[in-house]
Structure formats: structure tokens, C-alpha cells
């Protein structure tokens, strides 16, 4: 069965772009439009192998979503990969401290993203 | 050497635009030039995004034709372009443009927060600064047509910025990946 990845981004085009790259690599893909939706999807889908998450989004940003998700012990093993235009080392350190497992600065290379997804889901 | 923050911001934004358009296969042709913010002659789409930090803030708008946007969507999306994609991608372009400018400004000790982008579209489109009326419009040519940038930079007092050579202020580059 395909490993399931949740893509959280407020841009439908980015979700489509990321989703195509991951689908072609054999992953099943779910989508969420912001951090609030992302949190809800994570609660509904306990079999997720990875979350790919933007930072700047309406309602709840990606860093707050990671912090809230990782505050729950049941999500401790769920890897979260940030995919964002932000390259600020302070934000990267904040994401790492909150429990994110990686950071990619947009625009992204599809092969790089797929390789990261394979590495991060290897243990799932 | 110190420079006014609005000059640094404009230079970093234009540098970011050059990089971004090259990245998406539609490099700028020639230098951006100041233009009059007259309403557009045809249908235009504009991505609008705000930024703020303690000393300054403002709005950036990126305005062009749907035809230009269609030329600069990611390769995976080409062939699937409709009005919804054009509107969505214009907002994402504004986000990526300001994100790049933000990363470039880190070495000047400035780190602003960005709003989520929004997009407007229409005929005879005219985007103007709502408060300060200090917006500056610059236009650059691409192979598919012109692209315009409005910079509405606001600060209450003059802010001077100088480039730091400390590695503490180096942003991760676009396309970089880090696994923790």
C-alpha cells in the first residue's frame, strides 16, 4: 500500500505541483489549505507517513502548526518537512526545535523533494 | 556603507525579481524602469502582499497579464492552466518574490514578517497605495510581455541599513534542502 503524505499549503498550484511529484514517485497524497486544516487532517488520518508544510499561511502558519502537532505525544514520530520561501536561519532553528525534520526553500527541485520524502518515510 | 532602508529594499526586490524570472525560464530583458501607475489597457492580474518589521513595512504588488503568468508557471503545471491557476500562481509569485527579497535583506540585519498574498484581476486594473501615496511603480520586460512591480515602502523615520559580513545573517538559498 502507498505511503500517505499530507501537503499543507495555501497555494492550490503549489499543492498540485508537490502532489504530482510525490504521486509519480508512488506516494498517496492528501491536501490541506492552511495550518488549521492541516491539524484537522492529521487528526483524521492517523496513518500519515509524512507532512509537507508551508510556513506563511492564513489562519495558522506552518510553524505554529508544527508546534501544536508535536505537542501531542501521539504525533511524536510523524515527520514534518517544511517547504517555504523563507530562508531565515532563525525560523529554520525554530522549526527544528519545534520538531520538524527538514526544510526546503522554494522554488523546489522535484527530485530533491522526492528523495527527502523517501528518506523521511523510510522508517514509517 | 549605510543606505536608506527603502533603497536597500527596492534593490533587493529587483534582484529577487531578476532571480525569480530566470528561475522560471522567463529572464528579464533590460533594466526595470519607473512607470506611471496608469490603469492597464487590458486584463491584468496582480499579486499583493504585505510586510512589516519594527522599523518599516509596506506592500508589494506584482502586476502582469495572464499570458505572462502562463509562461512562468512551474513546468509540471503547464498544459493545465486555467483562470484559477493564473490567479493562484500570481499570489504565490508575489509570495516567492517577497520571500527572496526577505532572504536577501537578512544580511542587512532586517527580517520582516510577510502577510499571506492576495490576488486581484480585471480590466483597466489600477493598484494604488491606499494610505501613503508613496508607491513606486517599476516595469521590466520579459519574453512574454512586461511585468510591473509596485513598492509601497513606509517608515516613520529614516532607517539606515548596512551590509553585515557575519555568517549569522546568511539565509538558506532557494532550492536548498536541510534534513535535521
Q: Which residues are bridge partners to B162 per DSSP?
A: B2
- Which pLDDT does position B124 carry in this prediction? 80
Is residue B11 pLDDT above 80, yes or no? yes
List B154's β-bridge partners, or say none: B57
Cell readout for B47 is 499579486
For residue A35, give the nearest of A78, A77, A13, A66 by alpha carbon. A66
Question: Binning pLDDT at 50, 70 and 90, where does residue B165 land?
Answer: confident
Tell me how far CA of residue B135 lies from CA of A34, B151, B153, B179, in angstroms: 31, 5, 7, 40
**Does residue B98 have a pLDDT over 80?**
yes
**ipTM > 0.95 for the complex:** no
Residue B56: per-residue pLDDT: 94
- How close does chain B come to A70, measured CA to CA in Å? 15
CB A12 to CB B85 under 8 A?
yes
* Cα(A118)–Cα(A49) distance, integer angstroms: 10
Inform me whether the pLDDT recorded for B156 exceeds 70. yes
pLDDT, position B128: 75
Give the residue ranges of chain A where pLDDT is below 50. Answer: none
Cα–Cα distance between B16 and B158 in angstroms, integer?
23
Q: Let me know if A46 is exposed, middle or buried by CB neighbors in 10 A (0-12, 13-18, 19+).
A: exposed
Structure confidence at residue B134 (pLDDT): 66
User: Which of A56, A87, A100 lies nearest to residue B172, judging by beta carbons?
Assistant: A87
Dihedral class, residue B133 (left if φ above 0, else alpha if ψ from -120 to 50, else beta): left
Q: How close, in Å, is residue A29 to chain B by CA atoms?
A: 16
Give the pLDDT score at B78.
Answer: 80
Look over chain B and give the mean of its residue pLDDT values, rounded to a whole number. 89
* More confidently predicted of B62 and B40: B62
Is a pLDDT exceeding 90 seen at residue B13? yes
Report how far residue B172's alpha carbon sits from residue B52's, in angstroms, rounded to the nearest whole number: 21
Alpha helices by DSSP H, chain B: 5-23, 66-71, 83-105
Q: Which of A9, A10, A13 to mutate to test the interface with B (most CBs of B within 10 A)?
A: A13
From A65, A48, A84, A7, select the one nearest B178 (Cα to Cα): A84
Amino acid at each position: 500500500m502507498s505511503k500517505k503524505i499530507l501537503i499543507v499549503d495555501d497555494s492550490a498550484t503549489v499543492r498540485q505541483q508537490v502532489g504530482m511529484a510525490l504521486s509519480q514517485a508512488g506516494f498517496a497524497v492528501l491536501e490541506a489549505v492552511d495550518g488549521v486544516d492541516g491539524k484537522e487532517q492529521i487528526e483524521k488520518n492517523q496513518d500519515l507517513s509524512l507532512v509537507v508544510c508551508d510556513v506563511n499561511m492564513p489562519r495558522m502558519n506552518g510553524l505554529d502548526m508544527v508546534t501544536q502537532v508535536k505537542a501531542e505525544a501521539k504525533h511524536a514520530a510523524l515527520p514534518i518537512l517544511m517547504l517555504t520561501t523563507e530562508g531565515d536561519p532563525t525560523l529554520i532553528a525554530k522549526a527544528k526545535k519545534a520538531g520538524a525534520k527538514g526544510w526546503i526553500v522554494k522554488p523546489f527541485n522535484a527530485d530533491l523533494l522526492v528523495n527527502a520524502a523517501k528518506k523521511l518515510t523510510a522508517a514509517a | 556603507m549605510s543606505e536608506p532602508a527603502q533603497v536597500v529594499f527596492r534593490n533587493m526586490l529587483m534582484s529577487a525579481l531578476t532571480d525569480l524570472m530566470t528561475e522560471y525560464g522567463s529572464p528579464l530583458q533590460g533594466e526595470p524602469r519607473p512607470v506611471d501607475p496608469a490603469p492597464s489597457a487590458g486584463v491584468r492580474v496582480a499579486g499583493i502582499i504585505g510586510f512589516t518589521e519594527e522599523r518599516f513595512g509596506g506592500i508589494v504588488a506584482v502586476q502582469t497579464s495572464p499570458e505572462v503568468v502562463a509562461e512562468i508557471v512551474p513546468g509540471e503545471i503547464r498544459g493545465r492552466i486555467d483562470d484559477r491557476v493564473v490567479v493562484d500562481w500570481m499570489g504565490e509569485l508575489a509570495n516567492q518574490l517577497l520571500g527572496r527579497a526577505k532572504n536577501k535583506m537578512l544580511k542587512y540585519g532586517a527580517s520582516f514578517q510577510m502577510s499571506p498574498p492576495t490576488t486581484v484581476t480585471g480590466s483597466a486594473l489600477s493598484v494604488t497605495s491606499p494610505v501613503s501615496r508613496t508607491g513606486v511603480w517599476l516595469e521590466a520586460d520579459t519574453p512574454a510581455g512586461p511585468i510591473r512591480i509596485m513598492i509601497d515602502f513606509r517608515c516613520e523615520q529614516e532607517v539606515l541599513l548596512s551590509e553585515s559580513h557575519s555568517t549569522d545573517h546568511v539565509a538558506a538559498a532557494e532550492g536548498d534542502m536541510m534534513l535535521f
